[in-house]
Amino acid sequence: MTSLVGIVTVSFNSASSLPNDPSPFATATLGSLELCRTETIGGTPHPVWNETLKFALVGAGVLLPQTAAIDLNIWSKGSTPMSAEFLGSACVPVSHLAKTNSAADSAAAIYNAAIIDGSTLDYAVEFQPLPPGEAPPEDIPVYDLSKFKRSKLAPSTCAGFPFVGDATRGLLAQPGVTLEGVVKVKIDRATGLDKSDDTFVRMRLGKKKIFETETIKNAHEPVWKEEKEFFLQGRFTTDTAIQFSLMESDTVYDSALGTYGFPLSKLLEEKHHELVEPAVSKENTVAGKLTLVIDFTPMHGKPEGMEAVYLENVKADPVAGKIDFYIEKAENIADMDSIGKTDPFIQVWISAMQKQLTMLTETDDISNTLNPVWRHSDKVFIRGTFLDAAYIGFRIYDKEGIKQAKITGVVEKNIVDFFEEGGITGTFPIKMEDGSKGEGTLTVKCVFTKHTEGPPPMGYKIVECGDQFDRKWKKDKNWDM
């Protein structure tokens, strides 16, 4: 844990080779708390800000997690205040800043879902501790960390990274923590099979196949003793796991007898794991036990010639289909107004990595109530190739004008589960953005129907998820408008 009480000076000097013909500006954040922001420079991939911004962090006794960092984020201004496009970020761990009082890089790599080739940021960050009892200057913003929930101040984009010198590394800020290093897996054997099958083990992350062993024929307890080494980088959530599927080989098609999921979070707890774990079938029976050895070595940068797996690029299969929305009501939601009651409305977004990517539908606002009844219906045809970590979120706002709209809570569902389970229907507890318990419930019925061929149906609003949609797949499926 780290204390960071003092004055922070951030110098945003310039950036180079930014993508997508941007109108860039930069922000510094601690978790989800924005600390400062530069001016916007119009229409250039090589902005020069030369801005030095100061702010004070106070709160005696507040200890930040070791994973916390000050993130230096690059955005491109959108047509509305809420439509800025995230371009990438670099970051400075607070543990490094508290120890050395400074960090700088004239060509820090900028990261998004992966490294943006050639994009760099020139910055400097300085930290001046405040002596006990001394007040910060009156002419700079002051953030009292004791007034913020710890979950708002972490996790950071640097979580899980060993910080080397002044070479600042960062990834797109999304829920979870970050890994970077080499994973070595030894698939030793399987025991306890019901019969002698032709079996092999398939290892994957999301829909990405990483490795398959050879097939051992007609063996009741197959022994492989095969190893796979790969470089792993990216952010993950608590349910992200390497899947080891015990497969039965067949001349027609291969089928999974059972699967064991190894949570990536265990790699941060211990670097060496010797495992004997059950491979569980879809019927929740144990098909056999897998003997595995998993080692993790933290490392900056991919070793030459080694296969790399980037977690943010792990995607589900391309999906298209109809969503029939019916947002009925909410009950006993949080009151965000000091005078009167909340004026709630809902926006439904496809989101990933703490960024709202695509809005699907929006209700009207209902004035002065904590029990709004919308009975909102909409028809949306959605298509895209989605990150496994993406989710569909019902975001409840209190309308105070678009710039002042305050979020009162959220109901979310993983996008893969949403597609596989045919939508989301029922009454659900409302959570806060940081995942903590909120107030009230939301009742919705949203039915997803998969679309496999031909043009979109009539009467549906068509939503494509930006660059996530596979254009070639669209063409092959004859989905032209």
**What amino acid occupies position 192?**
G
Residue 41 is encoded by which pair of tokens? 């420079």
Section 175-181 average pLDDT: 62
Q: Which residues of 116-127 are buried (b: 16+ CB within 10 A; e: fewer)?
A: beebbbbbbbbb
Section 391-413 average pLDDT: 77
Q: What is the pLDDT of residue 481?
A: 34
Residue 252 is encoded by which pair of tokens? 């027609």
Name residue 90's beta-bridge partners.
Answer: 72
Q: What is the pLDDT of residue 163?
A: 32
Torsion of CA 212, 216, 217, 219, to 10 degrees: -130
Give the C-alpha separation, 159 to 130, whole Å: 26
Name residue 347's beta-bridge partners.
Answer: 362, 395
pLDDT at 361 over 80: yes
CB count within 10 Å of CB 381 equals: 21
C-beta separation of 437 from 428 below 8 A:
no
C-beta separation of 446 from 423 below 8 A:
yes
Q: What is the pLDDT of residue 2?
A: 60
Closest CA to 27 of 12, 5, 8, 45: 12
Residue 454 is encoded by which pair of tokens? 């031909």
**What amino acid occupies position 101?**
N
Of all residues in the chain, what percent carry a pLDDT higher than 90?
26
Tens-place pLDDT, residues 113-124: 434 446 778 888
Residue 331 is encoded by which pair of tokens? 């009950």
C-beta separation of 292 from 186 below 8 A:
yes
pLDDT at 162 over 60: no
Q: What is the pLDDT of residue 356?
A: 59
Q: What is the pLDDT of residue 408?
A: 78
C-beta separation of 77 from 23 below 8 A:
yes
- Mean pLDDT over the full length of the chain: 77
The DSSP letter of residue 315 is B
Tens-place pLDDT, residues 299-310: 877 888 999 887
**Half-sphere exposure of 239 toward its Cβ, with a 13 Å CA cutoff?**
8
C-beta separation of 296 from 187 below 8 A:
no
Q: What is the pLDDT of residue 172?
A: 27
Section 218-240 average pLDDT: 83
Band of pLDDT at residue 12, cut at 50, 70 and 90? very high
Residue 386 is encoded by which pair of tokens? 């989605």
Give the C-alpha separation, 119 to 107, whole Å: 9
The highest-confidence range among 191-200, 230-239, 270-279, 419-428, by mean pLDDT, is: 270-279
Tens-place pLDDT, residues 190-199: 998 877 778 9
pLDDT at 275 over 90: yes
pLDDT at 37 over 60: yes
Section 446-473 average pLDDT: 70
Q: What is the pLDDT of residue 137?
A: 87
pLDDT at 85 over 70: yes
pTM recorded for the entire structure: 0.40
Lowest pLDDT segment from 94-98, 274-278, 335-339: 335-339
**What amino acid occupies position 274?**
E
* CA-to-CA separations, 346 to 66, 105, 126, in angstroms, rounded: 35, 42, 41
Band of pLDDT at residue 449, cut at 50, 70 and 90? very high
Section 205-219 average pLDDT: 86
pLDDT at 252 over 60: no
The highest-confidence range among 103-107, 252-256, 315-319, 454-458, by mean pLDDT, is: 454-458
C-beta separation of 88 from 41 below 8 A:
no
pLDDT at 404 over 60: no
Percent helix, strand and coil across the chain, each to the nearest 5: 10, 55, 40
Q: Which of the pair, 240 or 116, is modelled with greater confidence?
A: 240
Which residues neighbour 358 within 8 Å (Cβ) at sequence distance 6 or greater? 349, 350, 463, 465, 466
pLDDT at 373 over 50: yes
* CA-to-CA separations, 96 to 11, 69, 127, 148, 234, in angstroms, rounded: 17, 9, 10, 22, 21
